Chains A and B, each alone.
Chain A
Amino acid sequence: MSHKHIFARAAVIAALLLIRSTIADVLPDNRADVFYSKYSGGGMDITGYSATARAKITENFAVEANYFVDKISGASIDVLSQASTIKDERKQKSGTLEYLHDKTTYTASYISSVERDYISETASFSLSQSMFGDLTTLTLGFADTHNTVGENNGTADAPNVAWVGHALSRAYSGGLSQIITKNFIAGVNVQVITDAGYLANPYRSIRYLVSTDVNPKGYALASQVYPDTHTSTAVQVQAKYYLPYRAAVTALYRYYTDTWGVVGNTYELDYTHPIRDKWIFEGRVRYYKQSAASFYSDLFPFADSQNFTARDQNLAALDNTTIGAKVTYAFLPDGWRIFKRGTVTADVSRIRFNYLDFRNIKDFGLPQYEPGDEPLYQFSATVYQLYLSMYF
């Protein structure tokens, strides 16, 4: 249950990506996609299915609709006191309108994500302007999100959800993309997000030291206390270069900082290698490192030791490394009926998570480990994706 909230919030914000990926001057081709994904790791299994379709109503106006279902099951590391198994389903629907006028593309989008104990809705608007002989593209956008947070006090099979709070989020984004040479394009994105309201995950708790007389584990649990505001700024710089034998290499770096004291650095390198017009192979490596939030601690010295307290693993000091590979095969060389092109893609990523100040207290404790000496948590996850894209 603990991962889910963050899932929903992230999915909604992540969907904003779809808004930003515009190539101005011509609206993208009509297409339909079916997508299957599986995340397996950290005791969780998440299967996702989605269907997307986009079509041009006129040369200047297009619509896109997407339906996504996530099914979650497993036993998460940080479910400390409640029933350890989680089983839930999240349904997300989104609709997007795109309008192209001369060199400007306007996009409006609405996303709704619903699960038993979390509802998230986002409305967003962006515009993308092509300038200077189509060498420069400026994108500006903003999005408003409303989240309703609940807590399931029952079990996975017999739920009893109590709604505990709301959160509002506003995101401002700006992006600038510049063609530097006929082989080289670079860009920079900035995004500022402000949230207010109930921002914690109700299923996570903090722990603080107590004597073993009070609790045989040596620690007691308490609710997290989060600030009711949060503002973050992220800046990403990226570049793509075309190699003379027909391949592309992409590099990106993102710097993240927020009012909670988290500083995150992301580094990614991708290599794309096509073979004629039939196959595209892609390999990627990503490294992410973050510092902990200022009010985060794996083990507090006593109850109410700080105004704000958190033990959510997302706010811990951590790093992760991803290695991924993707293969795309174009299976309709001459088209078929109304379809001009069809591709099928398989993608596998392996992520190694390494926590620097979050301990595995689910599997380890007294008498072998004193509170605060349990092994640091580490786990690996594999993400599989399989999708079919038909262009018409």
Chain B
Amino acid sequence: MRPRPILLIATLSGALLLCSACSIQPWVKPYERDRLADPIMAWDRDAISNAYMDHIRESREGSRGATGGAGGGCGCN
């Protein structure tokens, strides 16, 4: 079971490497990011609170991991 998720991550990275060489044009332009830049669209608007709730759950559940999110936002710079 251990090698499989690593292979998944490796495959994803590999696919992205190949894609980046093809230079796909972004279909959501930088000036169309107003909604994605809205704080209500942030994955972790309250990161400390989210970390705390995950801590509460991991103390009482048998599951752990894969929480959180990145990306989105204004994409500025």
Contact = CB atoms under 8 A, between A and B. Distances in A.
Interface of A: 3, 6-7, 9-11, 13-18, 20-26, 33, 35, 37, 39, 48, 50, 52, 66, 128, 130-140, 171-179, 181-183, 185, 187, 189-194, 231-236, 238, 240, 242, 246-248, 254, 256-260, 262, 264, 266, 272, 274, 280, 288, 290, 293, 313-315, 318, 320, 326, 328, 345, 347, 349, 353, 383, 385, 387, 389
Contact of B70 (A21, A37, A387): A21
B5 A266 contact: no
B19 interface: yes
A183 B49 CA distance: 25
How many chain B residues sit at the interface, stated as a range, is 35 or more
A383 B53 contact: yes
Given A23-B73, A134-B75, A48 B52 contact: yes
Contacts of A13: 58, 64-65
Interface string B28-69: 111011111011111111111111111111111111111111
Contact of B48 (A33, A187, A247, A256): A33
B71 A177 contact: yes
A45 to B, nearest CB: 13
Contacts of A50: 48
Contacts of A238: 43, 69
A204 B46 CA distance: 34
B76 interface: yes
Given A35-B52, A139-B70, A192 B59 contact: no
Contact of B28 (A179, A280, A349): A179
Nearest to A175: B70
A10 B54 contact: yes
B9 to A, nearest CB: 4
A177 B55 contact: no
A190 B62 contact: no
Nearest to A250: B43
Interface of B: 1-2, 4-6, 8-9, 12-13, 16, 19-20, 24-30, 32-36, 38-77
Contacts of A6: 58-60
A259 B62 CA distance: 12
A25 B45 CA distance: 17
Contact of B59 (A7, A20, A128, A272): A7
B70 A187 contact: yes
A140 B9 CA distance: 9
B40 A274 contact: yes
Contacts of A52: 48
A182 B68 contact: no
A71 B69 CA distance: 29
Contacts of A236: 66-67
A11 B75 contact: no
Contacts of B36: 179, 182, 185, 242
7 contacts: A14-B54, A17-B67, A39-B56, A133-B29, A175-B70, A280-B39, A347-B49
B47 A254 contact: no
Contacts of B66: 173, 189-191, 234-236, 254, 256
Contact of A272 (B1, B24, B40, B69): B40
Contacts of A35: 48-49, 52
B51 A17 contact: yes
A17 B70 CA distance: 10
A193 B64 contact: yes
Contact of B61 (A133, A190, A288): A288
Contacts of A233: 1, 4-5, 65
A179 B64 contact: no
Contacts of A131: 16, 20
A248 B40 contact: yes
A10 B65 CA distance: 9
Contacts of B61: 264, 288, 290, 314, 318, 320
A128 B44 CA distance: 15
A29 to B, nearest CB: 11
A17 B53 CA distance: 11
* Nearest 6 CB-CB pairings of A with B: A133-B26, A177-B71, A137-B71, A10-B58, A134-B75, A21-B44
B71 A240 contact: no
